[in-house]
A and B are shown apart, each in its own frame.
Chain A
Amino acid sequence: NAGVTQTPKFQVLKTGQSMTLQCAQDMNHNSMYWYRQDPGMGLRLIYYSASEGTTDKGEVPNGYNVSRLNKREFSLRLESAAPSQTSVYFCASSRTSAETQYFGPGTRLLVL
C-alpha cells in the first residue's frame, strides 16, 4: 500500500516549457487535490476533483490544467511555465471531500 505517489520528485524547467506532474493513490479515495506551497503562504489549492469525472478550480488555478484520468490518477499540467510557478507541489487524496487528506511526498519545481 503506497498511499499517494507523485512523479517527478524534482524538476527544473525553462520559462515557456511545459510539463505534467503525475499523482496516483491506491486507497480507493474519491477526492483528489493539487496544492502549491510557497514560503510563508501555507498550502494553496490549485484544482481539486471531488469525485471521478469532475474537476473544479481552487484558489490559484491560473496557468494550470488538470485531468482526472480515472479514480486513481490526477495529473497537473503547466502549459507554459513561468518563474512565478516555482514552488513545491503536493497532491493529496481523501475518501470524501470533507474527510482527512493524505499527501504525497511533493514535487519541487524550479522555473528559470
Chain B
Amino acid sequence: QKEVEQNSGPLSVPEGAIASLNCTYSDRGSQSFFWYRQYSGKSPELIMFIYSNGDKEDGRFTAQLNKASQYVSLLIRDSQPSDSATYLCAVNGSGGFKTIFGAGTRLFVKA
C-alpha cells in the first residue's frame, strides 16, 4: 500500500464547475497536510496547507481534512482553464522529518 494515494486522473471538468481532488494516507499519526499545484514543465508550488480536522478556505480553494478516515481533499470552486495542472497531495508523517508526496492528479478545465 502506498503511503499517500491519489487518483491519477485525468479529471476533466467544465469551466465554472467545482473540481474535487482526493487523497488518502496510511500514517495515522500524520500531522501536516499540503496541496501543491504543478504546471507542466514547472516546479510544484503550494496552494494550501491544513493541520486540523475540518475545512479551510482560501479564495476559490477549500481543503478538507478527516483524520479519522485518513482522508484529505481539495475543492476548487468556479474552476478556470488556468487551474489545469497536476495537483500533488503531500503528508508529513508522525516522525515529523519526511513529507511524502502522492503521484498527483491531473486536472483539465474545459473552456
Task: Please give the residue numbers on chain A whose beta carbons come within 8 Å of chain B beta carbons, in ascending order.
Answer: 35, 40-45, 48, 50, 56, 58, 90, 97-106
Question: What number of A-B contacts does a CB cutoff of 8 Å give?
Answer: 50
Using a Cβ–Cβ cut-off of 8 Å, how many residues does chain B contribute to the interface with A?
22
Q: Which of A35, A41, A43, A45 has the most CB of B within 10 A?
A: A43
Task: Please give the residue numbers on chain B whose beta carbons come within 8 Å of chain A beta carbons, in ascending order.
Answer: 8, 31-32, 34, 42-46, 49, 88, 90, 92, 96-104
Q: Could you jot down 6 A-B contacts, CB within 8 Å?
A: A40-B103, A42-B102, A43-B88, A56-B97, A97-B99, A100-B46
Contact among A40, A41, A43, A56 for B44, CB-based, below 8 A: A43
A19 to B47, CA, bound (A): 33
A48 to B44, CA, bound (A): 17
Contact A104 B97 (CB under 8 A): no
What's the least CB distance linking B100 to chain A, in Å?
A: 8
Q: Which of B8, B44, B90, B102 has the most CB of A within 10 A?
A: B44
Contact A40 B98 (CB under 8 A): no
Contact among A41, A97, A100 for B98, CB-based, below 8 A: A97
Given A41-B103, A43-B44, A100-B34, the answer on whether A48 and B98 have CB atoms closer than 8 Å is: yes
